[in-house]
Amino acid sequence: MLLTISTTHRPATDLGFLLYKNPARVQSFDLTFGRAHVFYPRANDDRCTAALLLDVDPVGLVRNRRGPAGEGFALEQYVNDRPYVASSFMSVAIAEVFGSALSGRSKDRPELVGRKLPLSATLNVLPCRGGELLLRRLFEPMGYAVTAKHHPLDEQFPEWGDGPYFTVTLEAEATLHDLLTHLYVLIPVLDGDKHYWIGQDEVEKLLRHGEGWLASHPEREQIVDRYLKRQRRLTREALARLLEEDQQTADDQAEASAHEEEAVEEKISLNEQRLNAVTDALKASGANSVLDLGCSTGNLLRRLLRERQFDKIVGLDVSHRALEIAGEKLQLDRLPEAQRRRLALMQGSLTYRDKRLAGYDAAAVVEVIEHLDPARLAAFERALFEFAKPRTVVLTTPNVEYNVKFPTLPAGKFRHRDHRFEWTRSQFQQWANSVAGRFGYAVRFAAVGPEDEAVGSPTQMAVFTFAR
Ligand code: SAH
């Protein structure tokens, strides 16, 4: 197994300081499953490459079952995999041999630790169970350019087709710490069920090494699931803790910026018009049970409670704080029992498949999608349109073309600093049409708020109706 890491940062030999390994020497380390060697095939000022070569000792592994193994892992590993394939062993070796760099420490070049450097990493043989697509979906959202060469299962028998092995190069401007943590977590993820370590402290390790990137990774469910070898209990625990991390950010934003967007849009009391338009669309759909997804502090919920047609109303938000405020504003504890029973608040994330959301007639998603990372839209689409699958979805988002009409909004700025994007009418319609097509919905569009001939109206609304 061979991992090489290169940089063209100048002087490139700083890589040696960051890795704590002198470019001039070959060093070897004894690990429980074999030996690791570090050497530098190239160490010039303009380019420096460090190599980590892992020499796994299958015989020792089998003999030494107590090692880091679970029962019976080693034989299976070696019946199925050739010893030069990168696997969880490579992650263990990264942690043991490049431990300081992995945790972001450098005695001699502390100023470089947090600096993004031009880095590339090559794994000569990497098993990608899930194929090149998964490989790309794991690394590309974090800014890596991925080059992958697929190898045939057996060169003697090309008709057997391609095996699971790739030669992979990842390139990015990244800190060495980030590159190593990404490799540490994602190599075993690509290796699927085959990596062998599993225990309570794996959850801790995963969260520690995933800090700052895993919570917002579009494939985080799959990463956690595969890393923890599909052990549901551990996976649930890890995802719940990642969700907390996410939610903390949302809570802070709920507190800090509650009024920002309102201030910009105030003049036309757009908010009021939007809530009316959404309520009308929900009523017209004939729905009795409705979800308000991303309900925040409950403005729409209050509006819906007034309509007798709705006998089951659920507000969901990722922010605890927002839900707390919603509970207070709706005076939940003072509502008469019959009213109280119509309404529930729950905390959850829209980018997760969530059983609690299945079986409703309709869902409102009002001014929420623009708060989602574009990379997570796909997860949201599936969670809502494939799994929760309400018959009707009423969804709104700002029309960015209209921003020129807001006098207090500087050109090029979004209406709220937490907005990740704001779409033109054609961008929105393109997205909504594609979602509708993929998940079997029909969609129609409506403008909300005063309509300008050139730039349209401030809010755009799509009403999806399940059609298959
Ligand atoms: N629908 C409300 C609030 C819009 S603000 C209204 O129209 O007034 C966006 C809301 O979406 C915030 O309350 C935020 O906490 C919530 N949100 C952001 N990302 C979310 C996610 N992944 N899952 C659930 N809610 C989310």
Condensed to tens digits (0 to 9), the pLDDT of residues 237-277 reads: 777 777 776 666 666 666 655 555 665 555 447 888 999 99
8 Å CB contact between 34 and 28? no
Q: Which of 220, 255, 317 to mutate to test the pocket of ligand 1 (most atoms within 8 A of CB)?
A: 317
Helices vs strands, H then E, count in the chain: 18, 14
Indicate the pLDDT class of residue 146, thresholds 50, 70 and 90: very high
Q: How far is the CA of 335 from the centre of ligand 1 (A)?
A: 24
pLDDT of residue 140: 93
Average confidence (pLDDT) over 184-194: 80
Among the ranges given (221-235, 274-288, 436-450), the one the predictor scored with the smallest mean pLDDT: 221-235
Q: Which atom of ligand 1 sits closest to the CA of residue 416?
A: 5
Q: What is the Cα–Cα distance from 135 to 129, expressed in whole angstroms?
A: 9
Q: What is the Cα–Cα distance from 317 to 301, expressed in whole angstroms?
A: 12
Q: Which of 368, 373, 419, 421 to mutate to test the pocket of ligand 1 (most atoms within 8 A of CB)?
A: 368
Average confidence (pLDDT) over 183-196: 77
Whether 408 has a pLDDT exceeding 60, the answer reads yes
Among the ranges given (201-210, 232-241, 318-327), the one the predictor scored with the smallest mean pLDDT: 232-241
Residue type, 375: A
8 Å CB contact between 126 and 165? yes
Q: How far is the CA of 318 from the centre of ligand 1 (A)?
A: 7
pLDDT of residue 69: 43
Q: Which atom of ligand 1 sits closest to the CA of residue 380?
A: 22
Whether 357 has a pLDDT exceeding 90, the answer reads yes
pLDDT of residue 74: 46
Q: How far is the CA of 232 from the centre of ligand 1 (A)?
A: 28
The candidate with the shortest Cα–Cα distance to 108, out of 42, 16, 180, is 16
Condensed to tens digits (0 to 9), the pLDDT of residues 53-96 reads: 988 776 666 555 544 444 444 444 444 455 556 577 888 899 88
The candidate with the shortest Cα–Cα distance to 37, out of 8, 5, 1, is 1
Q: List the structure tokens of 2.
A: 């061979």
Whether 167 has a pLDDT exceeding 70, the answer reads yes
Q: Which of 290, 318, 351, 353 to mutate to test the pocket of ligand 1 (most atoms within 8 A of CB)?
A: 318
Q: What is the Cα–Cα distance from 351 to 437, expressed in whole angstroms?
A: 20
pLDDT of residue 334: 82
pLDDT of residue 67: 42
Whether 18 has a pLDDT exceeding 80, the answer reads yes
Among the ranges given (17-21, 111-115, 274-278), the one the predictor scored with the smallest mean pLDDT: 111-115
Q: How far is the CA of 230 from the centre of ligand 1 (A)?
A: 30
pLDDT of residue 433: 97
Q: Which atom of ligand 1 sits closest to the CA of residue 351?
A: 22
Q: How far is the CA of 354 from the centre of ligand 1 (A)?
A: 16
Q: List the structure tokens of 467.
A: 């059609």
Q: List the structure tokens of 465.
A: 């109706």
Over the chain, what is the mean pLDDT? Answer: 85
pLDDT of residue 68: 44
Average confidence (pLDDT) over 373-382: 92
Q: How far is the CA of 294 from the centre of ligand 1 (A)?
A: 3
Q: What is the Cα–Cα distance from 290 to 357, expressed in whole angstroms?
A: 10
Q: Which helix (H) or strand (E) holds 30?
A: strand 27-31
Helix (H, G, I), strand (E, B) or coil at 311: coil
Q: How far is the CA of 328 from the centre of ligand 1 (A)?
A: 18
Within 6 Å (CB) of ligand 1, which residues are found? 250, 254, 294-296, 299-300, 317-319, 322, 349-351, 366-368, 371-372
Please provide the distance, in angstroms rounded to a whole number, between the alpha carbons at the two ends of the chain.
50
Whether 24 has a pLDDT exceeding 60, the answer reads yes
pLDDT of residue 170: 97
8 Å CB contact between 365 and 395? yes
Whether 154 has a pLDDT exceeding 90, the answer reads no
Q: Which of 246, 296, 357, 414 to mutate to test the pocket of ligand 1 (most atoms within 8 A of CB)?
A: 296
Q: List the structure tokens of 223.
A: 């990463």
Whether 413 has a pLDDT exceeding 70, the answer reads yes
Angle between helices 220-227 and 232-256 (to 10 degrees): 150
Higher pLDDT, 270 or 176: 176
pLDDT of residue 186: 94
Among the ranges given (14-28, 262-276, 325-339), the one the predictor scored with the smallest mean pLDDT: 262-276
pLDDT of residue 430: 97
102: how many CB neighbours lie within 10 A of its CB?
21
Atom 7 of ligand 1, residue of closest alpha carbon: 366
Residue 123: burial class (beta carbons within 10 Å; 0-12, 13-18, 19+): buried
Q: What is the Cα–Cα distance from 278 to 272, expressed in whole angstroms?
A: 10
Whether 358 has a pLDDT exceeding 70, the answer reads yes
Q: Which atom of ligand 1 sits closest to the CA of residue 299?
A: 8
pLDDT of residue 160: 66
Indicate the pLDDT class of residue 49, thresholds 50, 70 and 90: very high
Among the ranges given (3-17, 196-210, 434-448, 454-468), the one the predictor scored with the smallest mean pLDDT: 196-210
Q: How far is the CA of 103 from the centre of ligand 1 (A)?
A: 34
Condensed to tens digits (0 to 9), the pLDDT of residues 387-407 reads: 999 999 999 999 999 998 887
Among the ranges given (91-105, 144-158, 309-323), the one the predictor scored with the smallest mean pLDDT: 144-158
Q: List the structure tokens of 357.
A: 């959301």
Q: How far is the CA of 410 from the centre of ligand 1 (A)?
A: 24
Dihedral Cα 104, 110, 116, 121, nearest 10 deg: -60
